[in-house]
Amino acid sequence: MTVEPLVLPRRLAIQILHAAQLAAPDSSRGWVQPGALRYHEGEPAPGAVVYARCYSKPTSAAEPLPEELSGDGLHLVISLNTKGVLEMRGWRLLAEGLREQPLAVTD
């Protein structure tokens, strides 16, 4: 089964990656608000509508363990353990386990 890529605006992708870089060597945590597709640091307030949860892994690949994911929906995981370009991958936790969500960035 082929999964269509999720298209993220370049500005949003840069905000998320920048937050991960600023938090290094610690991990960053944040979330994306739907509609405006705006990145917020920290955890969402109770009852907030969340488009995606974001977090970074400073010393490992952008591959989460199921227990690292909170809530359903899209999870964007950023790896700082790369040379040159940072890596951001999308994941969804389904009943059958983790499934990668392909990502694309557009202007």
User: Could you read off the pLDDT of 59-94 as tens digits, one per residue?
Assistant: 899 998 877 787 678 999 999 987 777 899 999 988
Contact 61, 81 (CB under 8 A): yes
What string of DSSP letters covers 72-96? SSEEEEEE--SSSS-EEEEEEEETT
What's this model's pTM, rounded to 2 decimal places? 0.90
User: Could you read off the pLDDT of 29-63 as tens digits, one per residue?
Assistant: 999 998 888 999 998 999 999 999 999 998 899 99
Q: CATH number of the domain at 6-106, please?
A: 3.40.140.10
